[in-house]
Amino acid sequence: MQLNIAVLPGDGIGPEITQTALEVTKVVANKFGHQLTYEFGLVGACAIDKTGNPYPPETHTLCMNSDAVLFGAIGDPRFDNNPSAKVRPEQGLLAMRKQLGLYANIRPVTTFPSLLHKSPLRSDLIQDADLMCIRELTGGIYFGKPQGRSEDGNSAVDTCTYSREEIERIVRLAFQYAQKRRKKLTIVDKANVLETSRLWRETSQRLEKDYPDVTTEYMFVDNAAMQLIQWPKRFDVLVTENMFGDILTDEASVITGSLGMLPSASIGIHTSVFEPIHGSYPQAAGKNIANPLATILSAALMFEYAFNLMEEGALIRKAVDASLEAGYVTEDICTNGQPRSTSDVGEWIVRYIQSQTE
């Protein structure tokens, strides 16, 4: 099969983790006889530095012409520490999501037996936790207008907007995921306070009748934040709006043991993007210490979701499991022995994949 991917490393640890995941992608493609072509594009602070635009038109064209996009992370302290900067790396990520129509961000949260001890949560509470967070990705407060400051600079406004169509699209997808899993859907909102959440609840309630095999529950986001770490096994599929999903999934990474472990698939209209859920972790940039597994597992999702190549995805997961069991891991998940570098973990996984016979 011909696999034509765009690689957008971005900023901070982005280049290190994407390069590592790309090496894994290459070895898997090679092993299964696929023709892999890839081309790099600019996004984020590095794109601002080179072009003045965090999501240049050339990058958009590259993504549109690819079958899938492998994305690292964006963000730079130069902008984080300068609230008055008008052009910001995050605008590049948001523009990419909007222009590619990536309305659904699928964030699976699972546990690994060899990492149970890395979570501050009790092992018996998290063992076998397996939930699928579905985050709406192109609406809500990250995109709503008006946004900005008053003339005197002393007040600011952000706007949360959702249409019935946007809600229906993502909630139907979540119902369909629930049908393929344990048939339980938790719809997270703040309908006791927010009008957008009440529209979410009203729209979702109407959809329930189309999915009678799914047990649906509604939960306020503050309660969900608590239950997620108190009793994660109660969740199967969880669907929510953009900002709630952003926050809850960073929290959910505590179940797995590190933010460096959670992958995601952003799917939608024009192409799909595979990206770790974490950011550019600037403190680790250039040090070759960041955990590459969230990005490598995102590459597994790319094989499965974008190319429907399930065996290829499964082999990557098997290799990741093996590296965890061997304790060949980066410092964020290392307890015994020597922490390994980003590239060493990637090379271990590449060798493991090469060593597997069909």
Ligand X SMILES: CC(C)CC(=O)C(=O)O
The beta-strand segments (E) located in the chain are 2-10, 35-40, 68-73, 104-110, 130-136, 144-149, 156-159, 184-189, 215-220, 237-240, 265-267, 273-274
The residue among 236, 129, 239 whose CA lies nearest residue 184 is 236
With 0-12 / 13-18 / 19 or more C-beta atoms within 10 angstroms meaning exposed / middle / buried, residue 288 is middle
246 touches ligand X (CB under 6 A): yes
What track of x and - describes contact with ligand NAI for positions 264 through 303 (by CB under 6 A)? Answer: -----------x--xxxxxx------xx--x---------
* Contact criterion met (CB below 8 Å) for 242 and 142: yes
251 touches Mg ion (CB under 5 A): no
Q: Is 135 annotated as a binding residue?
A: yes
Using the minimum distance from each CB to ligand NAI, give the nearer residue, 36 or 225: 225
93 touches ligand X (CB under 6 A): yes
Would you state the torsion angle of the CA atoms of residues 323, 326, 331, 335, taken in this order, to the nearest 10 degrees? 150
321 carries an active-site annotation: no
- Catalytic residue among 11, 55, 103, 142, which? 142
The least distance separating ligand NAI from the CB of residue 329, rounded to whole angstroms, comes to: 10
Q: Is 246 annotated as a binding residue?
A: yes
Using the minimum distance from each CB to ligand NAI, give the nearer residue, 143 or 175: 143
246 carries an active-site annotation: yes
**Residue 101 interacting entry, from ligand X, ligand NAI, Mg ion, none, C-beta within 5 to 8 Å by type:** none
256 touches ligand NAI (CB under 6 A): no
The least distance separating ligand X from the CB of residue 318, rounded to whole angstroms, comes to: 27
Q: Which residues pair with 267 in a beta bridge?
A: 104
* Contact criterion met (CB below 8 Å) for 188 and 222: no
With 0-12 / 13-18 / 19 or more C-beta atoms within 10 angstroms meaning exposed / middle / buried, residue 179 is middle
What does each C-alpha distance from 122 to 112, 126, 127, 234 come to in angstroms? 14, 7, 9, 15
Beta strands 2-10; 68-73: pairing state: parallel
The least distance separating Mg ion from the CB of residue 37, rounded to whole angstroms, comes to: 30
Using the minimum distance from each CB to ligand NAI, give the nearer residue, 270 or 287: 287
With 0-12 / 13-18 / 19 or more C-beta atoms within 10 angstroms meaning exposed / middle / buried, residue 152 is exposed
Q: Is 210 annotated as a binding residue?
A: no
Q: Give the residue closest to ligand X by C-beta.
A: 90
Q: Is 49 annotated as a binding residue?
A: no
Residue 240 corresponds to which amino acid? T
**Residue 94 interacting entry, from Mg ion, ligand NAI, ligand X, none, C-beta within 5 to 8 Å by type:** ligand X
222 carries an active-site annotation: yes
190 carries an active-site annotation: yes
Would you state the torsion angle of the CA atoms of residues 212, 215, 221, 224, taken in this order, to the nearest 10 degrees? -170
b/e for 7-18, b at 16 or more Cβ within 10 A? bbbbbbbbbbbb
The least distance separating ligand NAI from the CB of residue 250, rounded to whole angstroms, comes to: 7
Q: Which residues pair with 70 in a beta bridge?
A: 7, 274
259 touches ligand NAI (CB under 6 A): yes
246 touches Mg ion (CB under 5 A): yes
**Residue 260 interacting entry, from ligand NAI, Mg ion, ligand X, none, C-beta within 5 to 8 Å by type:** ligand NAI
Q: Is 222 annotated as a binding residue?
A: yes
Token pair for residue 73?
């992370």
Token pair for residue 269?
């209209």
Q: Name which position in 67, 90, 321, 331 contacts ligand X (CB under 6 A).
A: 90
The least distance separating ligand NAI from the CB of residue 87, rounded to whole angstroms, comes to: 14
* Interaction site with Mg ion (CB under 5 A): 246
Residues belonging to the active site: 142, 190, 222, 246, 250
Q: Could you list the residues known to form a binding site, using ranges.
A: 97, 107, 135, 222, 246, 250
Return residues touching ligand NAI (CB under 6 A).
13, 73-76, 80, 90, 93, 258-260, 275, 278-283, 290-291, 294, 332
Q: Which residues participate in the annotated binding site for substrate? A: 97, 107, 135, 222
